[in-house]
């Protein structure tokens, strides 16, 4: 089992992958490209909490063999979002990092389950959660196992999908001494702005990024407007590494 500190040794921490796992072919295609670029941690979401019940909900446990395949072939560290307690045990043989999305930041029974699991976890900030609420949720999991993720909050600003709150991300990192990564894909809500938000986040001094990357964004079954192509990600990845070196 890999620990949080081992994951954070390679700096900055860059996590990439599609919004959702859709098929074996889709996953293998993007995995091959990300591996070639040097990405070590891949987001592999089997379940998708969606506002619209009729929208794509994820492929569930059907995707477990595919995750095992890319893990064995490329050596990826696999990060998977879990939506309920059963999912935690369902991915025990393949997922190295458990992931709590914004909608479940205060799902306390689920957080308790993660607290009993030895694996590290990514905890996304809720839509309007305060820093204290975010930290309180992290304590359920265990501060020593948690990586906080700022993914944008709802404010009066509506120019993009959400507002990327670097203020709180930096206070969480420097005042609370927590590892913090930023998701620029969700605040942007549009692919053309993802690179710019990624650069801003990295320049602020956070520990890393999680970016949605899809080989064919126009055909994606979820969040197609904000996913960038591998070709764009390659440029972003290289610039992000340069910015990190300058800042640090």
Instruction: Flag whether pLDDT at 63 surpasses 90.
Output: yes
DSSP strands (E only) in the chain: 13-17, 41-43, 77-81, 97-100, 121-124, 146-150, 180-182, 208-212
**pLDDT, tens only, 170-193:** 999 999 999 999 999 999 999 999
Instruction: Flag whether pLDDT at 195 surpasses 90.
Output: yes
d(Cα 204, Cα 220) in Å, to the nearest integer? 31
Rounded percentage of the chain residues whose pLDDT exceeds 90: 94
Q: Count of CB atoms within 10 A of residue 5's CB?
A: 11
At 160, is the pLDDT very low, low, confident or very high (cuts 50, 70, 90)?
very high
Helical segments of 104-221, H only = 108-115, 131-141, 166-174, 185-188, 194-204
d(Cα 238, Cα 51) in Å, to the nearest integer? 34
Instruction: Flag whether pLDDT at 54 surpasses 80.
Output: no
Confidence (pLDDT) at 51: 78
Q: Domains of the chain (ranges plus CATH)?
A: 4-247 (3.20.20.70)
Q: Is the dihedral of CA 57, 60, 66, 70 positive or negative?
A: positive
Give mean pLDDT, residues 162-171: 98
Instruction: Flag whether pLDDT at 204 surpasses 90.
Output: yes
Both structure tokens of 40: 């070590």
Confidence (pLDDT) at 49: 83
Give mean pLDDT, residues 71-88: 97
Q: Count of CB atoms within 10 A of residue 156's CB?
A: 5
Confidence (pLDDT) at 48: 87
**pLDDT, tens only, 80-135:** 999 999 999 999 999 999 999 999 999 999 999 999 999 999 999 999 999 999 99
Cα separation of the two ends of the chain: 29
d(Cα 71, Cα 53) in Å, to the nearest integer? 31
Specify whether the CB–CB gap between 136 and 178 falls below 8 A: no
> Residue 60: which residues within 8 A CB-CB, separation 6 or more?
46, 47
Cis peptide before 40 (omega within 30 of 0): no
> Residue 40: which residues within 8 A CB-CB, separation 6 or more?
10, 14, 75, 76, 77
Specify whether the CB–CB gap between 82 and 46 falls below 8 A: no
At 209, is the pLDDT very low, low, confident or very high (cuts 50, 70, 90)?
very high
Specify whether the CB–CB gap between 204 and 38 falls below 8 A: no
Rounded to the nearest integer, the mean pLDDT of the chain is: 96
Give mean pLDDT, residues 154-179: 97
Instruction: Flag whether pLDDT at 159 surpasses 90.
Output: yes
Give mean pLDDT, residues 195-207: 98
Rg (CA), the chain: 16
Give mean pLDDT, residues 220-227: 93
Confidence (pLDDT) at 85: 95
Confidence (pLDDT) at 217: 95
Confidence (pLDDT) at 50: 75
Confidence (pLDDT) at 45: 97
Question: How far is CA 99 from each of CA 18, 145, 182, 230, rounded to the nearest angstrom?
Answer: 15, 12, 14, 23
């Amino acid at each position: 089992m890999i620990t949080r500190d081992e994951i954070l040794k390679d700096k900055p921490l860059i996590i990439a992958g599609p919004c959702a796992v859709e098929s074996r072919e889709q996953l293998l295609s993007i995995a091959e490209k990300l591996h070639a670029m040097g990405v070590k941690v891949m987001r592999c979401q089997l379940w998708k909490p969606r506002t619209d019940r009729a929208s794509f909900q994820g492929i569930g446990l059907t995707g477990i063999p595919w995750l095992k395949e890319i893990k064995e072939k490329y050596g990826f560290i696999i990060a998977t979002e879990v939506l309920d307690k059963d999912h935690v045990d369902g991915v025990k043989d393949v997922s190295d990092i458990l992931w709590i999305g914004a909608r479940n930041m205060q799902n306390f029974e689920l957080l308790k389950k993660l607290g009993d699991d030895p694996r590290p976890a990514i905890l996304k900030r809720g839509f309007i959660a305060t820093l204290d609420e975010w930290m309180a949720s992290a304590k359920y999991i265990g501060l020593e196992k948690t990586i906080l993720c700022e993914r944008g909050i709802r404010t009066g600003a509506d120019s993009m999908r959400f507002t990327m709150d670097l203020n709180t991300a930096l206070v969480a990192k420097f005042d609370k001494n927590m590892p913090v990564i930023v998701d620029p894909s969700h605040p942007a809500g549009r692919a053309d702005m993802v690179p710019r938000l990624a650069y801003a986040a990295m320049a602020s001094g956070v520990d890393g990024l999680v970016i949605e990357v899809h080989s064919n964004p126009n055909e994606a079954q979820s969040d197609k407007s904000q996913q960038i192509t591998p070709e764009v990600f390659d440029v972003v990845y290289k610039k992000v590494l340069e910015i990190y070196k300058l800042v640090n």
